Structures are given as structure tokens and as C-alpha cells.
Amino acid sequence: MKLSGSATILLLEAILCLGHRKNIIIDTDIFSDVDDTGALMLAATSSSANLLAVNINYPSTFSAMAVSAILSHYGSPQVPIGTIRPLTNTTFFDDWSFELGEYTSKIAYHFSGGSIPWGHAEDAWDPVKLYRKVLAETEDASVTIVSIGFLDNLSALLNSTGDGYSHHTGRELVSQKVAELVVMGGAYPSGREWNFFGSSPSQTAHAINTWEGRVVFLGDEAGRDVFSGGRLMREGPATDIVRQAYIYYSYFKPRPSWDMLAVLYGIHGLGGFFEFGNEYGYNYVGPDGSNAWVWDESVTEQKFLRLKVDNKTAAAGIDRLLLKGSLSGIKGAGGGSSAPSCEGHLWHEEL
Ligand SMILES: *[C@@H]1O[C@H](CO)[C@@H](O)[C@H](O)[C@H]1NC(C)=O
Ligand SMILES: *[C@@H]1O[C@H](CO)[C@@H](O)[C@H](O)[C@H]1NC(C)=O
Ligand SMILES: *[C@@H]1O[C@H](CO)[C@@H](O)[C@H](O)[C@H]1NC(C)=O
Ligand SMILES: CC(=O)N[C@H]1CO[C@H](CO)[C@@H](O)[C@@H]1O
């Protein structure tokens, strides 16, 4: 059989991409900013990622139902979802600038679907049980956890003890199964940022200061000036759930890209866009949630990321991926997770 040139390229892409599927777990505080929705879309539609689970570290019922609606929209309704408890019916209200809109309840209602449809937030997994189950079932040293919110669930995972899923402690499971923890939080080399102080600074300090193994941080400064989402809102399909979340939230104004950058590093590594800001040292989180890099030459397992390209290039790369992801969410258009294609080039491609 003779393949046409374009068929050969598609076949090569499929082979190259399938070989690189990375096991990813996302821990998100989806609620008060909208980059979490883009991050979930990128992970759910990436042919380089195998999304194992999503845990939520903000206790709103609408956060849980919104995650389910997003995963379901992009053809991944089977991905298990866990959420922190006790649950509340809290919704976001921007009493700071009065500029930003609430989106989790609206997308959860209008796009209801997946394992936690409208009204069923209590069906979500306990996050620690979900971590333990998924880690126990997955190949050793193969999991990347991308934390794009608070660290409460990860602290609780470290403190967990043997159960029906594994006789190992949480700490043992992490050292056996987790290849890399990617954390959006803090500022580098030092500062004070929301994800570290906004929920429980002492649990952040516990998770970060006692984590053993490789950790890569993406700080406030790396995502703050990368404004994305504009193209998705202008050019994306009218039926797209993340486009709609962005419009509810920002009303057509591009937004900073912290969580999407962390997920993209988690899936694709440094690529052409990132470099490490350090060769050695480690992050130290204080009791108030502020953090500072400790320049200890004997520690080399922790890194912080710097953008290697300017903010326009990074934003354009994210905008291409958001647009492509939104097109794959169109039902019946050969989209969804059934027809993955390589998107790495969209991200790495220089303008
Ligand atoms: C949230 O609201 C729903 C619908 O009114 C209600 O059934 C549910 O019990 C509430 N949940 C919580 C945690 O308050
Ligand atoms: C885990 O234990 C540490 C103390 O060893 C404590 O500081 C932290 O709050 C605990 N985490 C959770 C989620 O309870
Ligand atoms: C790049 O950063 C500058 C300075 O913060 C900002 O004004 C501009 O909107 C940013 N551009 C993009 C595409 O993010
Ligand atoms: C199951 C479990 O331990 N969940 C924990 C997740 O984190 C919150 C906040 O620290 C704890 O209260 C929960 O117990």
C-alpha cells in the first residue's frame, strides 16, 4: 500500500505522539480565576498527555461540577474527579474590582455532564483516596502531578497511611510513583503569592518543605504578563465551554496564563519556551505562605522556571493551543479525545 505524503505525516505524528503520552494528575483551585479552565482543556485535549485524575482544592460544589463539565466536553468524561470537603455552595463575586464575572456555576449548569453532573457534587471522590488509588495503579516513576492551586490535598496525601489501595504511606507512594511535581505557586527567587498563602499556609509549608523528589516551580512572575484567551474568545467555536468561561469571567479581555504554563511544562517539558532559573538550591515556604529560594549547592532536585521567549510569543503559543483544543471539543467533527493529533509543534513553533 502506498501512503500519500500527508497520510504519512499523520501516521508519523500519531506514532511520535503516542510514544510520548505522559501520565498527568492535576490539582486545581478552579473558582476565582479562569486560567484553570484553559489548563484543563489543554490537558484533556493533548495527545501527549494521559490525564489520570483531577483533584480540586477549593470546596465549592460548582467547582467540582464545572471540572466534570469541562472534561466531558472534551471527550474525557471517564477521568475521575476528587474534591476537598466539606462542600459549600459558594460562588465567586469580584468585590475587589467589580470587573470579573462568576463562571463555575454557569458552565456547570449549561454544559452539565460527565461523572458529576449538575446537582451531584457529592459524588466526587475524596481527593486523598483518589490520589492513593491512581498512584497505586500506575507504573512506578511515571506520574507528573501538576498543582495549580492550593496544596492542602497534597499535604493530606503525604500524611495518609495504608488503606485498601496500597499498604504504603502517602510519602512512600509519592516517592515510588511520582516522577515530578510541578507547582504553580510562589515567586522566584522570593515573594508571596496567592496559591501559597490563600488557603492554608501551614499546609503549603508542610507539602513543599517536606516533599521528597523532583519539584519544578512556576512563579507569579512567569505567568503574570502572558495574556492569553483573546483569540479563543474572538475566534473559538460559540459552543466551546472554556471560551464561554473566559467570556463570563473576563468579558473578552485576555488573562494571565499561570496555570496553563504550568500544565504545558508538565506535559512538554522545557521545549523552546522555558529554561530553569537555577542550577541548585531549594524552595522554602514560611509560616505566612511567603517563599524564598535557599541557594544550597548540595540540592539539585528543585528548579524554578523562567520564560525563554518574550510574553507575546508565549501568549501566541497558548492561544494557538486553546483554539486547537476548542475545535477538538466540537462533537461529531472528528474531534474529542478519539482523534488526538500532535500539538507539540503548535507550542514549540516559533513565530
Ligand atoms: C447546594 O444547593 C443545592 C440546591 O439548592 C442543595 O441541594 C445542596 O444541599 C446544597 N449543598 C450544600 C453543600 O450546601
Ligand atoms: C500533615 O501533617 C503535618 C504535621 O506533620 C501538618 O502540619 C499538616 O497540617 C497535615 N496536613 C493535613 C492536610 O492535615
Ligand atoms: C506583554 O507584557 C506587557 C507588559 O506587561 C503587556 O502590556 C502586554 O499586554 C503583554 N502582551 C501579551 C501578548 O501578553
Ligand atoms: C481525605 C483528606 O484527608 N482530605 C483532606 C484534604 O485537605 C483538607 C484541607 O487540609 C483536609 O481537611 C482534608 O481532610
Beta-ladder partners of 144:
24, 180
Q: Which residues touch 67 (CB under 8 Å, ≥6 apart)?
A: 28, 30, 40, 54, 56, 81, 116
Nearest to 13 by CA among 348, 344, 283, 347: 344
- Map out the domains of the chain as residue ranges: 5-347
- Ligand showing the shortest atom-to-Cα distance for residue 60: 1
Say if ligand 4 is within 6 A of residue 55 CB.
Answer: no
Task: Note the pLDDT tens digit of each residue in 198-229.
Answer: 999 999 999 999 999 999 999 999 999 999 99
Mean pLDDT confidence for 22-45: 98
Higher pLDDT, 265 or 351: 265
pLDDT class of 335 with cuts at 50, 70, 90: very low
What is the overall mean pLDDT for the chain? 92
How far is the centre of ligand 4, averaged over its atoms, from the C-alpha of 128 (Å)?
Answer: 7
Average pLDDT, integer, range 30-43 = 98
Give 206 Cα–ligand 2 centroid separation in angstroms.
Answer: 6
Pocket of ligand 2 (CB under 6 A): 152, 155-156, 159, 202-203, 206
What is the Å distance from ligand 4's center to 171 Cα?
15
DSSP secondary structure code for residue 280 in this structure? S
Whether pLDDT at 344 is above 80: no
d(CA 57, CA 64): 10
pLDDT band of residue 340 (cuts 50, 70, 90) is very low
State pLDDT tens for residues 243-297. Answer: 999 999 999 999 999 999 999 999 999 999 999 999 999 999 999 999 999 999 9
Question: Which residues, at least 6 apart from 276, have a Cβ–Cβ distance to it below 8 Å?
Answer: 216, 270, 303, 304, 305, 306
Arithmetic mean of pLDDT, 97-101: 96
Mean pLDDT in residue range 178-191? 98
The HSE-up count of residue 203 (CA atoms within 13 Å, CB side) is 16
The 10s digit of each residue's pLDDT in 125-151 is: 999 999 999 999 999 999 999 999 999
Return the pLDDT at 329. Answer: 87
The CATH number of 5-347 is: 3.90.245.10
